Structure 1
């Protein structure tokens, strides 16, 4: 059975495609709708009050227009700021959020030195520090806020040249040596960053575990949908909507690689 209602994925740009890709493997019959608020990108630089206002208004429109069966906020910055407010505003819709994977990092580390590579907004958030206090108090956790990395990931995805030197400058502060120990896990706390993980591995000063939460988010989505999971195809195409309303052949080709067609108003 498939009632045709989509699962809605939200991000500020292309990063949430890392989560959508994992969800597609686990949920082959669901109709997917990807929403990129690229008109506001990068949202990590927005004042919190202005960003919260924008997110509340945007989701009022999205939920009214598309009646999603579930929403995945595939963006650490957006969910750590607005997740609970959106859940209270739309109790009829299950929300699956994205938070820095600090708990699994603390469980896996051997050295006790963890870095969280994030946007400045996620680094500032009290939610992030609460996760550290709750799950990684026994570890040394370094928060590294990158001003440029999400934009570099977007450029890389679009086929533009991104130099190793630019990436190295953004991840350098993640690597710490202390008392003969080294950072051994780096949490990728922005869904854009996994697209650059192979580049990070090549330029890192030593090997670390780059922790990508996309698969865990997709598994949580499966658990949320389990009572209402589609078991037949809807016959409707999976779509992507961008708030800047671009009409770009290169973007259409990129999205086609994720099984999405670009909707242009």
Structure 2
């Protein structure tokens, strides 16, 4: 029986932060990383069209790769379409990525927390429900960044980012109120941890940047069936692959994936993504 992989899905390269943690916890597992670069950025989509696109895309991904579990390593997609994916494909366990509002509310000393996310995640009722449920006694500022995910994509591909541009995107996160200051910023997009060092450098004061990648990886591990001893180290080096939905990643993207031990497939998935983009 063929070893079934763990599928990690994101709109671009942000999910590599989750993949990195998953590999630490699951060194004996095989991974398929899917970058929906044909649909990036998700913020350009109408919600209904994006939901339909992702659910349709997963029909082919599940048929082609037969993963044991699928990790949606994207806050924007998870807060929108996770329930629809579980309803459409009940035989596949899905692990989502949602803003780490509960742990932020538990850890804050000042009572001032900011959630740095894409505009889509900020708009979701799901996000506001998390605040109502877990952070009702904490002041939470939602900050929707238009450009940070694209800055992270460019940084990972090219190795350079404009620090002033990063500073402008994160500055609304820093709140002073009644002698207190924001002490936790939730990174509610898997792209953002790649810019964490630049954020620390340009921040007006130190804060705890909360990255949920390890928690997501631990949740995925908890849902996997224990492996038989004879299968523990069956995977060969280079077995992990990267799938680009465009089928045409540039050289920088290929080098990035290879740097993560992922080898791009040449054939794209065949879902038409031309609809639903304004």
TM-score bin, normalised by smaller chain: over 0.9
Partner of 1:196: 195
Structure 1: gaps (5+ residues): none
Partner of 1:82: 81
Partner of 1:41: 40
Pick which of 197-206 and 231-240 moved more: 231-240
- The answer (yes or no) to whether the contact 1:12–1:42 under 8 Å persists in 2 is yes
1-structure distance, mates of 2:232, 2:195: 34
Structure 2: gaps (5+ residues): 268-278
- The answer (yes or no) to whether the contact 2:158–2:252 under 8 Å persists in 1 is no
Partner of 1:250: 252
- The answer (yes or no) to whether the contact 1:3–1:234 under 8 Å persists in 2 is no
1-structure distance, mates of 2:171, 2:83: 33
> Runs ≥4 in structure 1, deviation > 4 angstroms?
none
Q: Deviations over 1:128-158 (max 9, x none)?
A: 0000001000000000000100000000001
- The answer (yes or no) to whether the contact 1:188–1:211 under 8 Å persists in 2 is yes
TM-score by length of structure 1 reads 0.96
Map 1:178-193 onto structure 2 (within 5 A): 178-193=177-192
Q: Deviations over 1:67-97 (max 9, x none)?
A: 1100000000001100011011111111111
Q: How many residues align?
A: 264
Deviation (angstroms), 1:226: 4.0
TM-score by length of structure 2 reads 0.92
Q: Deviations over 1:14-64 (max 9, x none)?
A: 000000000001101111000000111110231101101101110111111
2-structure distance, mates of 1:189, 1:256: 26
Q: CA RMSD in A?
A: 1.4
Partner of 1:233: 234
Q: 1:255 to 1:107 in 2, by over 3 A?
A: same
Deviation (angstroms), 1:254: 1.1
Determine if the alignment matches structure 1 residue 121 to structure 2 residue 120: yes
Partner of 2:53: 54
